Structures are given as structure tokens and as C-alpha cells.
Amino acid sequence: MDDYNLPFWIYLAVVTVFVGGAMKKILASHLSAGPTLVAWLGATVLVERLWAFCLPAVLLLVLLAVVYCVRSDSGTGLPAQGKAVFITGCDTGFGNAAAKHLDSLGLDVFATVLDLTGDGARALRRSCSSRLTLLQVDITQPQQVQQALLDTKAKLGLRGLWGLVNNAGVCVNLGDAELSLMSNFRGCMEVNFFGTVSVTKSFLPLLRQAKGRIVNISSPAGTSLAALLVVVVKFQQHQQLLQSLPPALMEEYGEDYITETKDLFQSFAEHANPDLSPVVDAIVHALLSPQPQARYYAGPGIGLMYFIHSYCPLSISNRFLQKLFVKKTLMPRALRKQSGLEANLNFMPECNNQITRSRMS
């Protein structure tokens, strides 16, 4: 390492950052990651070698920085005035924050809530302009979705809809699949999947009219036990789960394991990052950027998590996600008994060997 001076290491670090930035943009783009990634890395290595021989290192660093800055999409670009956006799930969280921010930018916002008299709806009325339209919609009810479509058409007139933000979603599973009620799975699918499809299909004609955009909000729950939106498990829900389990299943898992699972999910909600700006900024960029990305990783570490899950061996990605999210100290009671039995079986030969040695001596 003594043969390499400080400028070389600075040069290598900048090239690494440049290549890493290029990889991040490729993975977030609509292009196929495999061939594009190989082409980018090959071109980068070739150009880097040519420039390393022909140009001073300092000039090369400047050129790399300029190219990266030029290729980075730093502004929103498109004007907000005159554009209309429809957002689902605006009672709280991302939808509520996005509705406020988009309204402040000058867009005509149609925000759906479950309760027009709730705290979220009142907060939107207080902080937003007269352009905001509040609609009471349960996206699992087709009649309410169709009524929202009619109300939106009447308000837009001859204009189309620039953006649809499918934000409404729930996370209602309390842990292991065997311990969860089928009604929880059905309820989750009704909102997160069928409700989203219903709204999208209904509003496609308006979106087509304006050549608009669709933004779907999802979470890492599709590939891990983490969820951006975690329902706090109330005491009554926990008791209902315990009472509904068959005695044999309760014996297999143990009440202490089930309680720890409930506490784990509740801790996700209690320690969630209160800063919603990364998600809101991603929504704004997706709606107003001249070149929106196909996928946004909103929040620190989310891009790394998806990269590990997509490109690392399954054994590595599973271990990483378990260490990151599934911070459990207890195993199900049946596994604890099995582990204890195996420990006893392993201990018995050692005892027999010790007895044999003592007799021989």
C-alpha cells in the first residue's frame, strides 16, 4: 500500500462513488438492470483507463463530477399549476402529508378519507387552500369509488387527471401466518390489492385524457417482515387472538412467544421515523419530474435492502433481513422443547464416555 500515494486513493474513491451512483440510477430506472449495468460498468472502466493515461487525475475528477451532476435530475421541472391529482388514504400519514404539500405547490388535490369529520380531514381543511377537494371513500366499496369518480369528473370539467397516488393501505397481520386470522389476510388484500386495482381501473380514462401518471405506494413488507405502516396491536386484539387459537396451537407456540411477537410489531410503530418528507418528496418527483423513475427507495437504507434482496443469494438476504427486523429472543415452545431434547441427547454420550473412562482407570 505504500506504493500508492494519497491522490490515487482520492481518485479511486471518487470513481467508486461515480460507479455506485450510476448503479443506483440504473436500478431505479425503467431499463433492464442486467444488460444496462454491464454496459455502464464496461464503459466506465474503458473510459477511466483512457482518461487515466491521457489526462491528469485532478482534471479527470472534475470531469467525472460534472458528468454526474449533469446527468442527475435535480429539479422538478414540470409546472404544478393546472394539474390535478387524486390521492387515496389521506386520513393520516403519507397521504395526509402529500395532500398538504401538493396543495402548497399549486396542484388541484382530490384527497380521499374514511371520515370527513375525522382529525385528518379537519387538518386538511385548516391547512390547505380552496383547491382541495375532500371525498369520503372506502376503496373496498365499488359504489364509493364510482361516486368519487363522478365527483372528480364534475370538478375537473374538460380537464383530465394528471396524477393518481394509490396510497391507501393497511398492515393487519400480527405475526406468524399460522397465528393470523384468515380475515386479516382477506382484509389486507381487499385494501392493498383489490382496492388499488379498482381505483386505478376506474380513473384510467381521466388519466389517459391528460397523459398522466400513476404512483403506487408500497412497503418492504412484500419481501420482509417490516412494514412502513404498522398497525399498533391493541390489548383487545391481542386477547382476541389468544382466545381464538386452538389449545394445541397455543401449546405449540406458547403465550410468551405470541406476546413477544405482538410487542415486536408494536415497537415498529412506536419507533417509526416521524419524518415523512422522503416519501412525500418521492411522490412529488414522480408526479412533476420530466423523467420520473420507475421505482423510488424513500428513506435511508431502503435502497440497500432492496439491492441485497434482489442481487444477493437468498441465504444472505434472509439473514440480513432477519437481523434487521426480526429481533426476537424466543422460539416457539415446540422448537424450544426440541432444542432441549437434542441438547440432552448430545449430553448423554459425553456422560457415558466419562463413565467408561472412570471405570477403565
Rounded to 5 degrees, φ, ψ at 349 are: -60, -35
Q: What pLDDT, in 10s, does the model give residues 66-79?
A: 655 555 555 557 99
**Of 52-66, 95-109, 118-132, 239-253, which range is least confident?**
52-66
Rounded to 5 degrees, φ, ψ at 54 are: -100, -25
Which residue is associated with the grid cell 431502503? Answer: 302
Distance (Å, rounded) from C-alpha 19 to C-alpha 47?
A: 12
Give the cell for residue 133. 377537494
Query: Residue 253: pLDDT band by 50, 70, 90 thresholds?
Result: confident
Q: Which pLDDT does position 339 carry in this prediction? A: 65
> Minimal CA–CA distance to 245: which of 263, 257, 233?
257
**Of 5-19, 92-106, 158-172, which range is least confident?**
5-19
Angle (CA) 327 329 332, round 5°: 110
**DSSP code per residue over 137-166:** --TT-HHHHHHHHHHHHHHHTT----EEEE
pTM here is 0.71
Query: Does residue 295 surpass a pLDDT of 70?
Result: yes
Q: Are 75 and 258 in contact (CB under 8 A)?
A: no
**Mean pLDDT (the chain, rounded):** 77
Give the cell for residue 209. 385524457
Q: What pLDDT, in 10s, does the model give residues 207-236?
A: 999 999 999 998 764 433 333 333 444 555
Query: Does residue 149 surpass a pLDDT of 90?
Result: yes
Rounded to 5 degrees, φ, ψ at 145 are: -65, -45
Query: Residue 28: pLDDT band by 50, 70, 90 thresholds?
Result: low
Between 177 and 12, name the one with better pLDDT. Answer: 177
Name all domains of the chain by residue range, CATH numbers in brackets: 6-71 (no CATH), 84-325 (3.40.50.720)
Distance (Å, rounded) from C-alpha 162 to C-alpha 181?
A: 39
- Structural Rg of the chain based on CA atoms: 27
Q: Are 115 and 137 in contact (CB under 8 A)?
A: no
